[in-house]
Amino acid sequence: MSATRMWDDYRQLLRRRKDLHQAIEDLDDEEALLLEEMVQVDGQVAYYVSLARDMKKALDPPGLGKLLRSLRKA
């Protein structure tokens, strides 16, 4: 193998290495964005779970025990 061919192969490897490093950086950036989005979604889920629980409490018909206690007070 000639010296010129070896240098060409070496430069090609360096280019490929640089491309791979850039791809890894891009993936790291995308991962960070996705993690931020997941934090926001988790917050929204917690809010809506809490809202559903509060609405259920407000809209549930009173149970028999609660009804009997309210009649005793009257």
**Which sequence spans correspond to the domains of the chain?**
3-73
Q: Residue 38: enclosing H or E segment and its boundaries? A: helix 3-59
As a whole number of angstroms, the distance between CA 22 and CA 24 comes to 5
Planar angle of CA 40, 42, 48, nearest 5 degrees? 105
Could you list the pLDDT tens digit for every one of the 74 residues in the chain? 799 999 999 999 999 999 999 999 999 999 999 999 999 999 999 999 999 988 888 777 767 777 777 777 76
As a whole number of angstroms, the distance between CA 58 and CA 62 comes to 10
Residue type, 14: L
